[in-house]
Amino acid sequence: MSERTVEEYLESIGALEERESPVSTSSIAQVLEVSPASVSEMLRRLLRKGLVEYHPYGGAALTEKGRRRFLELTRRHRLWEVFLNRYLGIGWEDVYQPACSLEHATSDLVAEKLGKFLDNPDVCPHGSPIPKSNLKRPKVPGIPLADLEAGQAGKMVCVVSESNSKFLRYLTSLGLIPGAKVKVLEKASFDGTLTIEVNNSTKAIGREAASLIMVEPV
């Protein structure tokens, strides 16, 4: 019985709910790289288990029970990311995949002890908030860097696409890591390409990429 599969579905749905609610079959299919037909089938199964609300052709939403499970998993995922990064020295661009496996192999006891060992950190290496043991849904903070105007400055808080190694390596090369100070020098009115200043050096970044970076304006 692959409990694992159910958990991956819950995680996708939970993450997608930040942007889209209810969540469409096709979004889930895309994230999980699975056919829409398989998703339909699974949604019926999750409905029977009381993990999602679901009306055919109407999309899905986590129930209270599903949401709790989702936050538990997110907490575990991000705690492992912190461990892998801080203690094993694995770069932020490579922690997502291993954490995505480890999260499913983590008992309540291990999760609790791991949290204590790491001193219950507030954020993962990508800057995303770690749900507390009380399992309140944490607020993703900040606004997209792409939304700043020329002249505005901000402090980077987190990145949205945590599993894309190539993108994260690219950000590292720009000096764009959580906590970095960014100032927008110019914003192309044509396509929104930004000229920014990070660490006293000037860089360019496309609108698409800049929309995945969350900053707190200062």
The residues binding DNA (CB under 7 A) are 1-3, 5-6, 24-26, 32-45, 54, 56-59
How many whole angstroms separate alpha carbon 174 and alpha carbon 68?
A: 37
User: Closest distance between its own copies and the C-beta of residue 176, in Å?
Assistant: 24
In the set 162, 176, 184, 205, which binds Mn ion (CB under 5 A)? 162
Q: Which is nearer to DNA, 19 or 166 (CB)?
A: 19
Are 65 and 50 spatial neighbours (Cβ–Cβ below 8 Å)? yes
User: Closest distance between DNA and the C-beta of residue 52, in Å?
Assistant: 11
Confirm or reject binding of residue 93 to Mn ion (CB under 5 A): no
How many whole angstroms separate alpha carbon 197 and alpha carbon 24?
A: 38
Q: Tell the residue number behind the tokens 């949205």, with chain if given.
A: 160
Confirm or reject binding of residue 81 to Mn ion (CB under 5 A): yes
Q: Which is nearer to its own copies, 48 or 113 (CB)?
A: 113
Measure the N-to-C terminal CA separation of the chain; round to a whole number of Å.
50
How many whole angstroms separate alpha carbon 118 and alpha carbon 121?
A: 6
Q: From the centroid of its chain, how far is CA 203?
A: 25
Q: Is the dihedral of CA 128, 39, 2, 49 positive or negative?
A: positive
* The entry of DNA, its own copies, Mn ion, none that residue 40 binds, CB within 5 to 8 Å by partner kind: DNA
**Encoded tokens for 143:** 């606004």
Report the DSSP beta bridge partners of residue 196. 184, 203
User: Closest distance between DNA and the C-beta of residue 37, in Å?
Assistant: 3
User: Closest distance between Mn ion and the C-beta of residue 217, in Å?
Assistant: 23
Confirm or reject binding of residue 163 to its own copies (CB under 8 A): no
The residue count of the chain comes to 218
Q: Which is nearer to Mn ion, 99 or 210 (CB)?
A: 99
Total of chain residues touching its own copies, rule CB under 8 A: 21
**Encoded tokens for 215:** 């900053």
Question: Interface mask (CB under 8 A) for its own copies, residues 107-136, using x and -?
Answer: x-xx--xx-xx-------------------
Q: Which is nearer to DNA, 69 or 187 (CB)?
A: 69
Q: Is the dihedral of CA 154, 157, 161, 167 positive or negative?
A: positive
In the set 19, 33, 64, 89, which binds its own copies (CB under 8 A)? 89
Q: Which is nearer to its own copies, 7 or 147 (CB)?
A: 7
**Encoded tokens for 114:** 């791991």
Residue ranges binding Mn ion (CB under 5 A): 81, 100, 124, 126, 128, 162
